[in-house]
Structure 1
Amino acid sequence: MLTLIKPKSSGDLARMGVLLALAALILFGALRYDNFLSPFNILSFLRYNSMFTLIALGMAFVIITGGIDLSVGGVAACSSVVAAMLSTHSWWAGLAGGIGAGVVAGLINGLVVTKMRIQPFIATLAMMLASYGTALLLADNQSVSVSYDTGFTVIGQDDFLGLPIPAWIANGAYIAGWLVLERLPSGRHILAIGDGEATAGLLGLKVDRTLTIVYLASGALAGLAGVILASQFGAGQPTEGVGWELFAIASVVVGGTLLTGGAGSVGATLAGALLLALAFNILNFENGLGWISLSAYWQSVIRGGFLLVVVILQAKLDSNRKVD
């Protein structure tokens, strides 16, 4: 999947850096831990982190347009509850319902940003709060068990051709995202909007429609992540998803995508997400060895640290480019 990266801008250095860091972590883990490259660890890693790679993909497109989507965690939580509730009817009802909830949230985000001219930060923050509130209301402030009789749990728990189904889903989403950004005219439109909405409008591009579709896609991917969450853990989780937006933003930025928009890479976003996930996987192994003892709360500290360091590096690279 990492072959999807195609250097295009001054972010090339950051993208190559994330690849080198990812390779270095894999090598470190393979040399230090006996079971690091075991089938169990690899499959568990791919299965669990597919949710985060999906929301990172949606976030990448939003950030490339110069926007932000803070609602992805809340939308995933709400979608997991909807999917669990509908899974009693059939597996496809749970799948369609979860994705549909994400589509509705993303569409609202897009319309509020484009039609009401509300800043994406405020619009998606409001949607995040509304999504968590809706999830808690629907679930009556408790987990909602999925149906084990309709085959819904197959989506998150089963394998196909030796790989977890969630990994296949994420892989398909990234291939589609790469095609959109690199091979279709819509990708050039998204990049142009990130360079400047006013200029894109003067060029005749349908800015509002493109932005709405981008936010809708981000919501749909968050909804799909929510479906996998419910299927994988056997229950809709109304309080899950806290901090997911930070993971997504950090993955995108670590991958070299500029927060100012106008440039980005789908493949580098995947590398960034895998890098962050791998760092947490290695911490779990270290905890097991007994050399260190870090709680799960340190994950937020690490994500924040990664994000801060990379944003600082981005700012320095951007200032050097302007000087040159």
Structure 2
Amino acid sequence: MTVVKDETATGRHVAYDAGEPAGDGRGDRLSALAQQHGALVALIAIAAVASLSFDSFATTGNVENMAVSSAFLAIVALGMTFVIVTGGIDLSVGSVFVLGGVLAAWGSRHGTVVALLLPLAVCGLIGLVNGLLVARLRLAPFIVTLAAMLGARGLMLALTDEGANTYLVAEGSFFADLGQGKLLGIGAPVWITAALFVAGGVVLRRTRFGQHVYAVGGNEDAAALMGAPVARTKTLVYTLNGLLAGFAGALNAAWLDSGVTILGYGMELEAIAAVVIGGTLLSGGMGFVGGSLVGVLLLKVIQNVINQIGSLDSAYQQVVSGGFLVLVVVALTWLARRRRVP
């Protein structure tokens, strides 16, 4: 997909595809396919083997549980995809997620509208501040979002008296139905996540804003020279990430009937891992939301397989996920170098 055009001093226009690095030949096409769809192949293969090896893996209950539990991480990973495509990073989403859940549970006593708008407003504001500091003051995203992570976690602890208070969601309310309801036998969080990913895919691949996201991640200086609103794009991306993390936390609170305060630890790393596994480059300029969804499902399937084995400690989930992430990053780096035009 051609996303930007650069008018050179000679008046010629040079177009490039920010979503798919340049390259030609059969080897480049195979590398592109492996880079974009390798995680999907791995997901299908692991799921097939697990279905044959464990009787309970492919049952309706287990599949539904994996789908619903994946929905919240997937929403966070959706926002993270936009951030990483711009070449940024956001370490605050885990804390923003749990803060969103606490705010939603507290607000649910005043109705569904407050339960949804309150976490969106607060978490969106955190994302906006992150974006302004990164885009306008040119501070390092790692430091800015690390500070936001600590701030969001501290605000959550202050609201819950150091985690001693747990706010409950009223049973039978419309807000609770958002997390626990079903449509055609499928949990509402799954449908909501699917809708968000469709919208996210359209925005990233089919809108001018999405073109700017790719351009900024591909080459920020070149994007600025071509007239792309670099600072505004970065600010919007971090704001969107905060909104999605807060909404995921609110949806999780509706599912659990409470704003659990011990959640979110390490979620930012899981989201980053899922996005990278799905084919988005950490250096920015390339990625797609469908790959991030596949990355989330792949991580959840691996964790479920470890649980199915039963004899392995739960800590092995992190070991396997970390090792798998290293392999994926090495593979993506190698594939990207193969497709790079001298």
TM-score over 0.5 (shorter chain): yes
1:239 aligns to 2:262 (yes or no): yes
Amino acid at match of 2:233: T
Match of 1:320 in 2: 338
Deviations 1:116-153 (A, max 9, x none): 21111111111011111110110112332222253322
Q: How far apart, CA to CA, are the structure 1 residues paired with 2:340 and 2:188?
A: 45
Equivalences for residues 220-231 of structure 1 within 5 A = 220-231=243-254
Question: Is 1:169 matched up with 2:169?
Answer: no
Matched, 1:38 2:59: yes
Share of identical aligned residues, percent?
Answer: 40
Map residues 75-114 of structure 1 onto 2, 5 A cutoff: 75-114=96-135
C-alpha contact 1:18 1:271 (8 A) present in aligned 2:
yes
- C-alpha separation in 2, matches of 1:70 and 1:256: 19
Q: Does residue 126 of the first structure (1) align with residue 147 of the second (2)?
A: yes
Match of 1:116 among 134, 137, 141: 137
Deviates more, 1:28-37 or 1:202-211: 28-37
CA contact (8 A) 1:132 1:238 kept: no
User: 1:8 corresponds to which residue?
Assistant: 20
Match of 1:276 in 2: 299
- Structure 1, residues 5-59: CA drift from partner, whole Å, max 9, x if none? xx93465322221111011012112211222222211211111110010111111
Unaligned stretches of 5+ residues in structure 2: 1-18, 22-30
Q: Which residue of 2 aligns with 1:4?
A: none
**Structure 1: distance between partners of 2:32 and 2:316:** 28
Q: Which residue of 1 aligns with 2:312?
A: 293
Given that 2:99 and 2:152 are in contact with CA atoms closer than 8 Å, whether structure 1 keeps it comes out as: yes
CA contact (8 A) 1:250 1:306 kept: no
TM-score (norm 2): 0.87
Distance 2:306 2:88 in 1: 32
CA deviation after TM superposition for structure 1 residue 281, in Å: 1.2
Q: For 1:59-89, what per-residue CA distance to the aligned partner results, in whole angstroms no more than 9, with x for missing partners? A: 1110000000111100001111100100111
**C-alpha RMSD over aligned residues:** 1.6
Q: Within the alignment, does 1:147 sit opposite 2:170 as a pair?
A: yes
Higher-Rg member (1/2): 2
Equivalent residue for 1:307, pick from 325, 331, 338: 325
Equivalent residue letter for 2:56: N
Task: Evaluate the alpha carbon distance shift between residue 285 and residue 165 of structure 1 in structure 2; reply closer, same or farther with a 3 A threshold.
Answer: same
